[in-house]
Amino acid sequence: MSLREAIVRLWDIDESATMLQCDGQWLTWGDVKSLSGLIDTELTNAGCGPGGRVAVVLANRVESVAVLIAILRGSRTLVTLSPLQPPERLGADLEATAADFVIGGEGDWEKEEFVTAVSKLGASAWSVDHGVVTMKSRGAERKSGHIVDAGEVVIEMLTSGSTGSPKRIPLSRAQLEASLHAALQHNDRANGAERAPFAGSAAILTWPLVHISGMWGLLQALVSARRLVLFKRFNLADWHAAVKEHRPGLVGLPPAAIQVVLDSDIPPDDLTSIRAINCGASPIDPAVVDAFQERYGIPILVVYGATEFSGAVAGWTLNDFRAQWSQKKGSVGRAFPGVRLRVVDAGGERPPAGETGRLQVASPQAGAPSDEWITTSDLAHIDADGFLYIDGRADDVIIRGGFKVSPDTVVRSLRDHPAVSDAAVAGLPDDRLGQIPVGAVELRARKTVTAEELREFCRITLTPYEIPAQIYIVDELPRGASMKIDHRRLVAMLTDLTNASDES
């Protein structure tokens, strides 16, 4: 079923059917449909037709679901803006989109930087809150006679990328449909067409919608017309209550949330409906998978993917897990249908099975011809049975609980402090989040500042997940002969400082 067909199908569903739960309150399909219709009318009247780019501050809230439906139904393009950004970053990001149409919440319109960016763009813009759509800015009238086909861009998702500077990834309708179809095939699941709309157990979505895992989960729920419980953010008590109420068979959680559940006092009987947990975005320790299985009897099915691939391209199935997990611990599973994987060495040649190289992916999900190999930033090996193992990264990006953190971005923020002469940041292992950014700084002569003051300073320009977990003030950063930071020695120094801090 295509995305367009799925949205058309929604319009024929009984409006009294319960569709979406947020903040403990259920909304009917009629509630969401009505709001989506209002948004669609406003966009149309402003000249935003097929192909029109709409920049949206995509918080986990009912309004974001209605906006997405309006954009898909009108064959428009969603340009995502992260609500996690500080105001200055949000304003700059909005301005960089060059979008003609903008939607935010009332709280966004209280930020001077956001309002200024809308003005600079000359965009038509709205606030959408509590079922009310309010025009805040009227841009120049625009007309669209654009014809949209399945290959054109549906979503532009912002990712921190693998080399530092954030970048927008254009995802086409064809890419997203290929991704949704491949996941169903891989796990031998139906698309929901045989089931009454918005019937049965609800999907529970804890991922941020600005993350590919969150967006993918929302699209999957819409395509299958499945009821959805949308969390603003993961909260153990609320998640526990939702599982007890809705009795889902399959849930998705990042490694950090899985560790929180494992460390909790939730009794196994409360999770008996769950047949498996899908886990991705960042590495998970196989020991955690084993411990969770031992305590709750629930397999954790690891998946591997990226925004660039419209979601996952490899993963474990329940059958594979039961048959081979004990021999293949640490793997992220096998390629999805329609996906080909390989590794190459520095010379572009394929090493023997089991040897590490740069991972390449070929798939319609990548938005390129299916025979074109896309080189990732991951180092990996593939065994003789086709199981993929991620061995590290070819760059220094830090993956903190599923979010990519560029050390360069954090270093620039630290260097902006008037007391800092130079700074360096690296990722250290963390039991809960996979990795955390940790920084070290050299101070200017006769300047003083505390580590906590530096963390507070970073909050001005960094998202919460980019702020270093620890900052150490050192006499001298480790440098090589060229005076560049020696990454290996930096990691060793930060590890020693962290261990010493923990012991004290």
- The string of pLDDT tens digits covering residues 407-461 is 888 998 999 999 998 899 999 999 889 899 999 999 988 899 999 999 999 999 9
CA of residue 325 relative to chain centroid, distance: 26
Q: Are residues 403 and 380 in the same domain?
A: no
Q: How many domains does the chain have?
A: 3
Phi, psi angles (nearest 5°) of residue 225? 50, 55
In a domain, 470, yes or no: yes
The length of the chain is: 504
Q: Given the structure tokens 């010493």, which residue do they identify?
A: 500
Bigger pLDDT: 322 vs 197:
322
At 484, is the secondary structure helix, strand, or coil?
A: coil
- Count H helices, E strands: the chain? 14, 25
The count of other CB atoms within 10 Å of the CB of residue 47 is: 16
From 347, 367, 393, the end of a domain falls on 393
Provide the terminal-to-terminal Cα distance of the chain, rounded to the nearest Å.
59
| 191: confidence class by pLDDT, cuts 50, 70, 90 | low
Backbone torsions φ then ψ of 321, nearest 5 degrees: -60, -45
> Residues 436, 306: one domain?
no
Predicted local distance difference test score (pLDDT) of residue 483:
59
| Residues 32 and 173 placed together within one structural domain of the fold | yes
Beta strands, E only, 23-130: 25-28, 53-57, 77-81, 101-104, 124-129
Domain that includes residue 464, residue range: 398-503
* CATH number, domain containing residue 472: 3.30.300.30
* Three-point CA angle 71, 254, 54, nearest 5°: 15
pLDDT tops 80 at residue 76: yes
What pLDDT does 164 receive?
Answer: 38
Instruction: Say if residue 468 is in the same domain as residue 368.
Output: no
Q: Is the pLDDT of residue 143 over 80?
A: no
**Per-residue pLDDT tens digits for 325-349:** 999 999 999 999 989 999 998 788 8
In a domain, 194, yes or no: no
Distance separating alpha carbons of residues 79 and 92, to the nearest angstrom: 14
Nearest by Cα to 17 from 256, 246, 197, 205: 197
Share the mean pLDDT of the chain: 89
Q: How far is CA 383 from CA 72, 171, 335, 377, 387, in A?
A: 40, 30, 12, 19, 6
The stretch 74-84 carries a mean pLDDT of 93
> Is the per-residue pLDDT at 382 higher than 60?
yes
- Average pLDDT for 65-92: 93
Q: 252 has which bridge partners?
A: 278
On whether the CB atoms of residues 94 and 81 are closer than 8 A, the answer is yes
75 with 155, same domain: the answer is: yes
CATH of the domain at 318: 3.40.50.12780
User: Per the domain annotation, does 140 fall within a domain?
Assistant: yes
Strands 153-159 and 77-81 turn out to be parallel
Rounded to 5 degrees, what are φ and ψ at 134? -120, 125
Q: Using CA atoms, how far apart are residues 312 and 388, in angstroms rounded to an integer?
A: 13
Provide the CATH number for the domain around residue 132: 3.40.50.980
So what's the pLDDT on residue 377? 85
Could you give the angle at the alpha carbon of 382 between the alpha carbons of 376 and 385, nearest 5°?
A: 145
Residues 461 and 389 both lie in one domain: no
293/370 same-domain check: yes
Q: Supply φ then ψ for residue 368, to 5 degrees.
A: -125, 165
Residue 57 inside a domain? The answer is yes
Closest CA to 209 of 49, 407, 65, 41: 65
Q: What is the pLDDT of residue 231?
A: 94
φ/ψ region of 434 (left if φ > 0, alpha if ψ in -120 to 50, else beta) reads left
Total Cβ atoms within 10 A of residue 29: 22
Q: Within a domain: residue 23?
A: no
One domain, residues 283 and 165: no
**What was the pLDDT predicted at 162?**
37
Q: What is the pLDDT of residue 386?
A: 94
Tokens of 95: 């301005």
Domain presence at residue 221: no
Centroid of chain to Cα 491: 27
Distance CA 194, CA 447 (A): 68
Q: What is the dihedral of CA 102, 103, 105, 107, to 10 degrees?
A: 0
How far apart CA 109 and CA 102 sit, in angstroms, is 11
Strands (E), 29-172: 53-57, 77-81, 101-104, 124-129, 132-137, 153-159, 167-172
Average pLDDT over residues 164-186: 81
What pLDDT shows up at residue 90? Answer: 94
Query: What percent of the chain is modeled with pLDDT above 90?
Result: 62
For the cut 80, the answer to whether the pLDDT of residue 30 exceeds it is yes
Residue 188 has pLDDT above 80, yes or no: no
Mean pLDDT of 261-280: 93
Q: What is the average per-residue pLDDT within 284-313?
A: 92
* Residue 40 and residue 153 in one domain: yes
The residue out of 177, 197, 225 marking a domain boundary is: 177
Confidence at residue 161, expressed as pLDDT on a 0 to 100 scale: 46
Out of 393, 409, 432, a domain closes at: 393
Q: Say which residue, 163 or 298, is predicted with more confidence.
A: 298
Q: What is the distance of C-alpha 1 from the center of its chain?
A: 24
Among residues 13, 22, 21, the alpha carbon closest in space to that of 201 is found at 21
Overall average pLDDT of the 2-30 stretch: 90
Let me know whether 155 and 284 are in one domain: no
**Can you read off the two tokens belonging to residue 73?**
């139904």
**Confidence band of 185 (pLDDT split at 50, 70, 90):** confident
Tokens of 265: 């006092």
The confidence band for 366, taking pLDDT boundaries of 50, 70 and 90, is confident
Residues 439 and 315 in one domain: no
Report the C-alpha gap between 496 and 494 in whole angstroms: 5
Say yes or no to pLDDT of 285 above 90.
no
pLDDT (mean) for 74-82: 94
142 and 36, same structural domain? yes
- What's the pLDDT band for 193 if we cut at 50, 70, 90? low
DSSP letters for 252-312: E--HHHHHHHHHS---GGGGTT--EEEE-SS---HHHHHHHHHHH---EEEEEEEGGGTEE
Looking at this protein, which amino acid is placed at residue 315?
G
Cα–Cα distances in angstroms (integers) from residue 393 to residues 5, 379, 399, in the given order = 39, 5, 10
Q: Which helix (H) or strand (E) holds 374?
A: strand 374-382
Q: Are 466 and 410 in contact (CB under 8 A)?
A: yes
- In the chain, the largest separation of any two C-alpha atoms, in whole Å, equals 72
Residue 147, pLDDT score: 47
pLDDT tens track for 229-268: 999 988 899 999 999 999 999 999 988 788 889 989 999 9
And the tokens for 372?
A: 């074109």
Ramachandran category for residue 330: left, alpha or beta (phi over 0 → left; psi -120 to 50 → alpha): left
